[in-house]
Amino acid sequence: MKHLLLLAAAMAVTSIAYGQTLCSDCPDPASLSCQLWPAVCEQCLEDCIAAPPIRRISPVNTAPYDPYLVSYMLPKTIGVIQLAHEQPTGWPQNPSYMTNYQLAEEVASYGFGALKVWMESNPFEGMGPWCWKTYWGVELCGDYNDTTSEMYEFWAKSPIDTIFVRPQFYGWTHWEMNECIGTVGPQMALADYYGIAKRLYSEFGYRNMTVILTDWEQDWIICDGYKDFLVQIINQRQSDVERARKEAFLELGYRPNLRVMHAVVVNRYPDNTTDPELPRLAEIIPTLEHKPDLIGLSYWRKGYDPIETLDWLQETTGYPRYRIYIDELGTGNVDLQAQRYRDYVTAFWDWGVRVVNIWLWKQTWCEYGGKQYGMWYQQQPCDGKVEFLGQTPGLEVLQDLMGVYHE
């Protein structure tokens, strides 16, 4: 009888909410989301319904249960980051071109359990029509020829089940040029995190997969004088993902296998901040109305104790250790890769970090002077295309740490 009552409660919630949106879940008309996508907001308000009574559905063991809660525990693994693949059109001989699904297959074959990719704001339509200019004048462009079906294959069949996505939305991208770094680089502002999370839950809720929608080194936005803007977009991203999670539960009547979470990436700490008067993102996080699910730490520093940095980050934000991950661990010197990876990955894991993402899998642009930042040597000079030679010493060390080897 108890099981029937629980099922009836689930059906009551599902029958009311399926295919509809609660009015309380529609964005505030004055919010940044509605400024960017007014038609979507208007449609939401037109179609919304009054909130039905929410019945908490407890498992049989009657343990306390939050119907919208996700587990924040990530697998203990190493991941890699990939920025772009080279443009296939007119370069059929280019060996570095691959679809996103092929990329995931290749990375998984070397034993990596996580992958971070930079895609356009709709991650169901490829990497986006963007290019990197190289020192040799070669334009290495994103994989924008990926079709929707190819991207569906990536999400439905990817052998890697922990995916970090940096959606790039050029309508709100600004370029920093400031005293913090003295160079110019791209910054992503706000993509449609609700739309992305909603579609993931709707189409792939059955997959036992974790998707973390994230960004890149958000302290640069503060450095560029946009602190208030950053606070606004982080709150918006988090609230959008929370809204999609809640709707996914109400529409299904149970928690999906898929987990979609939001993370922010910090990159400024007390001992690597040029201007101590500027607030750091880590110090802002506790004041946010919608605190991110996870925090990524971009770690390129040399000569500092990584444990002291992590201790500071945990003390400053109040986050438990398992909700902090390493977003970028790298080095500009290929000769230091092996030792750096062995020492630091082990230290991060021992501290309590679960995922360590490594910069970079394959560097798909020429690097003047032969510097290597990825895990594969390049043929230099590039002269029109990037060709990869053997793997760098760091790749073998990472496989050894994971206890896996490429067949």
The pTM for the full model equals: 0.79
Q: Kindly give, in sequence order, each residue whose CB lies less than 8 Å from that of residue 149, ignoring residues fewer than 6 positions away.
A: none
pLDDT at 213: 94
Torsion of CA 18, 21, 25, 30, to 10 degrees: 160
125 vs 134 pLDDT, higher one: 125
Give me the chain's average pLDDT, please. Answer: 75
Does the pLDDT value for residue 17 go beyond 70? no
Q: How confident is the model at residue 208 (pLDDT cuts 50, 70, 90)?
A: very high
- Phi first, then psi: what are they for 170, rounded to 5°? -75, -15
Q: What is the pLDDT of residue 378?
A: 80
Model pLDDT, residue 108: 96
In which band, very low, low, confident or very high, does the pLDDT at 149 lie, cut at 50, 70 and 90? low
Helix (H) or strand (E) holding 212: strand 210-213
Q: Does a cis peptide bond (omega within 30 degrees of 0) precede residue 360?
A: yes
Q: Domain ranges for the chain, please list them.
A: 1-65, 71-402
Q: What's the pLDDT at 38?
A: 76
SS percent in the chain: helix, strand, coil, step 5 = 40, 15, 45
| Residue type, position 314, single letter | Q
Q: Can you state the angle between helices 100-109 and 148-157, rounded to 10 degrees?
A: 30
Residue 158 has pLDDT above 90, yes or no: yes
Architecture of domain 71-402: Alpha-Beta Barrel (3.20)
Round to whole Å and give the CA distance between 398 and 341. 7
Which residues are registered as beta bridge partners of 132? Answer: 140
Rounded Cα distance between 80 and 177, Å, is 28
pLDDT of 84 strictly over 70: no
User: Which CB contacts under 8 angstroms, 24+ apart, belong to 135-141?
Assistant: 135/366, 135/367, 135/368, 136/366, 136/368, 136/381, 136/382, 136/383, 136/384, 138/365, 138/366, 138/382, 138/384, 138/385, 139/87, 140/84, 140/86, 140/87, 140/364, 140/365, 140/386, 141/84, 141/86, 141/87
pLDDT band at 401 (very low <50, low <70, confident <90, very high): very high
Say whether pLDDT at 382 is over 60.
Answer: yes
- Best-predicted range by mean pLDDT among 56-60, 83-87, 242-246, 293-297? 293-297
DSSP secondary structure letters along 357-394: EES-S---S--GGG---SSEEE-SS-TTS--EEEEPHH
The pLDDT score that the predictor gives to residue 304 is 67
Give the orientation angle of helix 227-252 with respect to helix 193-204, to 10 degrees. Answer: 20
| Residue 102: predicted pLDDT | 83
- Tell me the percentage of the chain whose pLDDT exceeds 90: 35
Collapsed DSSP state (helix, strand, coil) of residue 81: strand
Q: Which tokens hold the place of 210?
A: 């974790």
